[in-house]
Structure 1
């Protein structure tokens, strides 16, 4: 298990435009050849957007983009004609495939915080697609077969235990609260990269926890 602390993230964004970004992997102007990916995950960005701030239309290709809103509302528009508002508890996925353009904005009047995770597809190309699962239930897995990955959302009460999926690669990101993962204590924004996970448990701290777990094939 390789634990990465929130304070170790690369800081990006544009403060003047109301955008603060925290990157867990090599990203944009910050190039780290030893931190390019883990399993299928190639980015895990924490984004904080002030009211009215956002990312203007920009392209993506050959990437599975999964977004988890922590607070506020995310307005999404893309070149395939989809428009939606994504709220806490929703899972949004944009499969960029052979190429797509999109806009992400905070059109609300309060701060928007979201976690966006990029996964590399097993095969490049294809047609882009988009979906939102509103109010995904706890412990309901969300499959991204294009990347050979499964997302598990865990909302743990204080002292509650949950099994970490066994797998060749498991990527854990703590959204809020505290959790004990094996022998490690994680706080908000911390992550863990677990290779050959087996018989591992996560336990909610006294504050409870909201935990995202990516289960990935080898």
Structure 2
């Protein structure tokens, strides 16, 4: 596929994102979302949503529906309670990989759980990134999976968080139902470097901190890069940083 594509490195700065602000939510959208519509910015590869959300204590997203989507949530600070119509529930916190398969239809809610941490009252916002990719097929059985990978992140390399690729069997923390997509995370100390994978479509998001992207310069918190027919670049932290990288070997038709 990459031979049919024009190589491109498309840097998207944090301040260019769509913004939704309410009394309890500060949400920044990398792609068209909700009432924010831009026909030229609907997805990259298989990634439809990259929402950077901060939710105040004691609030959150009430029960709402999804269908035919693989939804991965990555918490940066605080904790988030998940409950869904299949009976699954859990608390998502930093270093915990979580995936929900919406499939033929699911109802779920997500609330800031920081006030219940360790049985004490807290007032910490929860900050998380939620990412949606399309599944290989529609009408799947809804499902939920989570696994802690905090220890793996201590190594400083790119850690497979969620993948549907065969080469990640037994290696990725959780599975998603798309054989052409994988998500990695890395926590980097200043001077720490990781190489990006080669893929027809690649999405790099700086969730926190600052890094230097080989050939392109500095990227700060909230900045993203959309690679087409490329990869292999080195990312080096200039301050403590956390990055999320989607490797994708297909794109959404049309």
> Could you tell me the TM-score, scaled by structure 1's length?
0.95
After superposition, residues 1-218 of structure 1 pair within 5 angstroms as 1-15=9-23, 18-108=24-114, 109=122, 110-136=124-150, 137-138=152-153, 139-145=158-164, 146-147=177-178, 148-184=180-216, 185-205=218-238, 207-218=239-250
Deviations 1:87-137 (A, max 9, x none): 111111101011101000013231111000111112211101101111342
CA distance in 1, matches of 2:52, 2:184: 18
**Which blocks of at least 5 consecutive residues in structure 1 are unaligned?**
none
Bigger Rg over Cα:
2
> Post-superposition shift, 1:142?
2.7
Q: Distance in 2 between matches of 1:30 and 1:53?
A: 23
User: Structure 2 stretches of 5 or more lacking a match?
Assistant: 1-8, 115-121, 165-176
Q: Which stretch has the larger CA shift, 146-155 or 65-74?
A: 146-155
| Whole-Å separation in 2 of the counterparts to 1:143 and 1:45 | 17
2:81, 2:112 within 8 Å by CA — same for their partners in 1? yes
2:85, 2:74 → 1: CA distance?
A: 21
Distance 1:143 1:52, change over 3 A: closer
Shift of 1:183: 2.2
Whose strand proportion is higher, 1 or 2? Answer: 1
Deviates more, 1:189-198 or 1:33-42: 189-198
The 2-side partners of 1:13 and 1:44 are apart by: 16
RMSD: 1.2
Q: What TM-score does the superposition give when structure 2 sets the normalisation length?
A: 0.82
